[in-house]
Structure 1
Amino acid sequence: MVKNAGTKQISEIANALIDPVLAKRAGINTMLLGMWDEVVGPDYVDCTRPEAIKWPRRSGPDEQFVPGVLTIACEGARALFLAHETDQLIQRLNAVFGFPAVDRVKIVQKPVSAQPRRAARVRPMAPEQQGRLDRMLEQIEDDRLRQALDRLGKAVMTQPDAPRR
Structure 2
Amino acid sequence: MRHRRLSSVAAPVRGLAKKLLGGKAAVEASVMLDWPAIVGTEIAERCQPRKLARGRGANAGAATLHLTVDAPFALEIQYSAAQIVERVNRYLGYPAVARLALHQGELLREEKPRLPQIPPLAAPTRQQLDQDISGIADDGLRQALDRLGQAVLAKPGPDRR
The TM-score bracket by the shorter chain reads 0.5 to 0.7
Report the counterpart of residue 54 of structure 2 in structure 1: 55
1:122 aligns with 2:115: no
Distance across 2 between alignment mates of 1:28 and 1:108: 24
Contact 1:23 1:29 in 2 (8 A): no
Distance across 2 between alignment mates of 1:67 and 1:21: 25
Q: How does 1:53-92 map to 2 (within 5 A)?
A: 53-56=52-55, 58=56, 63-64=57-58, 65=60, 67-75=62-70, 77-92=72-87
Q: Structure 1 pair 18/123, CA: closer, same or farther in 2 (3 Å)?
A: same
Q: Secondary structure at the match of 1:54?
A: strand
- Look up the equivalent residue of 1:94 and give its one-letter code: N
% same residue: 15
C-alpha deviation, 1:25, in angstroms: 4.8
The alignment's C-alpha RMSD in Å is 4.4
How many residues align structurally? Answer: 134
Q: 2:100 aligns with which of 101, 104, 113?
A: 104
Contact 1:90 1:102 in 2 (8 A): yes
Q: Structure 1 pair 118/75, CA: closer, same or farther in 2 (3 Å)?
A: farther
What stretches of structure 1 of length at least 5 have no aligned partner?
1-9, 137-148
Contact 1:48 1:73 in 2 (8 A): yes
Distance across 1 between alignment mates of 2:53 and 2:38: 18
Q: Structure 1 pair 115/37, CA: closer, same or farther in 2 (3 Å)?
A: closer
C-alpha deviation, 1:50, in angstroms: 1.7
- Look up the equivalent residue of 1:121 and give its one-letter code: Q
Report the counterpart of residue 157 of structure 1 in structure 2: 150
C-alpha deviation, 1:85, in angstroms: 0.5
- Higher fraction of helix: 2
Q: TM-score, normalised by structure 2?
A: 0.53
1:29 aligns with 2:24: no
Q: TM-score, normalised by structure 1?
A: 0.52
C-alpha deviation, 1:70, in angstroms: 1.6
Report the counterpart of residue 18 of structure 1 in structure 2: 17
Runs in 1 of length 4+ with deviation above 6 angstroms? 13-16
